[in-house]
Structure 1
Amino acid sequence: MSSKTTLRVGRLVKAHGLKGAFKLELYTDSPDVRFAPGAVLKLQVPDSSPWFGKTVTVKELRYYNQAPVLFLNEAEDRTAAETLIKAILLVDADVEVLPEEPDAWYDHQLIGLKVMRDGALIGQVIRVDHLPAQDCLAIKTETGEVLLPFIKAFVPTVDVKAGEVVVTPPGGLFEELSEA
């Protein structure tokens, strides 16, 4: 029996053209999978929205000047599209299934993992921050929160099944912990 989680895959930024299309802000590394024709997406909108509790179906994902533009079956014209602006698009995903690319994980698979350094437990991953330069793991330690760049040099091992990540941080980040 597998459990499901809801993933944010995009946000409708603004209406595009007259045929009900949207400029799309992507929150996924696999837009061609998440926005394949026929894909059903849940909507995160205010309770007052006429779209609250409804789903939409992807008609087509195109790119104009390298920018993603999404067409939905439910938005036939610009007027309809305007009612969906700022909606967050969600999908249900199997918690156990990893992304197809190697060394890729969903945030929910990393949160809660023990953080090990030189065989010692030094903290726990409490969130993943997606920053412009790179992703960072937010690690709760005995002395507070530390942001560690989520790169292979600093996080060589992620073992979701074992519930831990192994870190080899640069000097200065966790030094006070190693003295204890």
Structure 2
Amino acid sequence: MELIVGKVGRAHGLRGEVTVDVRTDAPDERLAPGAEFATDAGTLTIESTHWHGARLLVRFEGIADRAAAEGIRGVFLVVDVPDDERPEDPDEFYDHQLVGLAVETVSGAPVGAVAEVLHLPMQEVLAVRAESGEEILVPFVAAVVPEVDLDGRRLVINPPPGLLESEGGAT
């Protein structure tokens, strides 16, 4: 299974460094010097990294100036992980493990299925495709999502009032 761990952002400075939008909880492991990524722009190998405030700055081998750095802007950094690999923390999940899970309420009422995991600045949000076809955005926090059962391919939500109501009434 492929896992997106970052996306190359804008150039930083004149010597080929770029910002990387980190999309992994383990950047020091996944985005370490020596890590290689097969991309649409060719193979990229991390030469060095350092944090500049909250931003990860990366220098790739062979990317020596600002023009070359701008040439790889927007490239996704993807790693292969075994389908059954799980993060060490039992309360963490890879996006691909959540997509497709059936969603039901704590009372057992079917809601739909997870279509996408959105990584927003304040928290992760599950985009759930409801049985009606509507999209419901569910905050991925323990109070709203008390149970994730990967083996059972389901996710249980405890929706706050109004979450499951559409503009035309209850879903």
State TM-score, norm by structure 2: 0.84
Q: CA RMSD in A?
A: 2.0
Q: Which residue of 2 aligns with 1:7?
A: 3
Name the SS of the counterpart of 1:100 in structure 2: coil
Residues 12-161 of structure 1 aligned to structure 2 (within 5 Å):
12-44=8-40, 51=41, 54-117=42-105, 118-143=107-132, 144-161=134-151
Contact 1:35 1:60 in 2 (8 A): no
Alignment size in residue pairs: 165
CA shift for structure 1 position 171: 2.1
Name the SS of the counterpart of 1:18 in structure 2: coil
- Following TM superposition, the consecutive aligned residue runs of length 4 or more in structure 1 with deviations greater than 4 angstroms are none
Contact 1:75 1:81 in 2 (8 A): yes
CA shift for structure 1 position 74: 2.3
> Unaligned regions of 5+ residues in structure 2, if any?
none
Query: Which AA in structure 1 matches 2:58?
Result: L
Does residue 169 (structure 1) correspond to residue 165 (structure 2)? The answer is no
Query: Which AA in structure 2 matches 1:139?
Result: V
Structure 2 vs 1, CA of residues 17 and 173 (structure 1 numbering), >3 Å: closer, same or farther? closer
Name the SS of the counterpart of 1:129 in structure 2: strand
Matched-pair identity in %:
40
CA shift for structure 1 position 62: 0.7
In 2, Cα distance between equivalents of 1:128 and 1:66 = 22
CA shift for structure 1 position 25: 1.8
Range 67-76 or range 127-136, more displaced: 127-136
CA shift for structure 1 position 81: 2.4
Structure 2 vs 1, CA of residues 82 and 170 (structure 1 numbering), >3 Å: closer, same or farther? closer
In 2, Cα distance between equivalents of 1:130 and 1:67 = 16
CA shift for structure 1 position 79: 4.0
State TM-score, norm by structure 1: 0.80
> Unaligned regions of 5+ residues in structure 1, if any?
45-50
Q: What are the Cα deviations for residues 77-124 of structure 1, in whole angstroms up to 9, with x where unaligned?
A: 334323222322222222211223331111111111111221333321
